[in-house]
Amino acid sequence: MSRTGTIVLSAAQCEGRTASVYAPVHICIASTKQLVHDLKDAFQFLKEKYGSQIPSSISFATGPSRTADIEKTLVVGVHGPGQVYMLLVDE
């Protein structure tokens, strides 16, 4: 989503639910036709793409995971990739 820099991942694209969590670096290559403005547009895009066959898992990733649960110390990349790169291809 262009508004937040969020990547929308589905189980249909990632060949399961774990692909977006285990990789240390996530490189996403997408068409500019897949770029939407916000969450409302993302759900509309998914509805148009999948119809009644919505994938079993849809994840929204906005950069590397971060947490400060342990002694309020920020840790990046614990629950997913430590680095995220997005490449847009204009068709």
pTM, whole model, 2 decimals? 0.70
CA 30 – CA 14 distance, rounded (Å): 13
Give residue-wise pLDDT tens across range 76-87.
Answer: 766 777 788 889
Q: Residue 47's closest CA among 18, 90, 2, 8?
A: 8
Phi then psi dihedrals of residue 46, to 5 deg? -65, -40
CA 58 – CA 16 distance, rounded (Å): 10
Q: How far is CA 87 from the centre of its chain?
A: 13
Give residue-wise pLDDT tens across range 2-48.
Answer: 888 888 888 776 666 665 566 778 888 999 999 999 999 999 999 99
List of domains in the chain = 7-89 (3.40.50.10420)
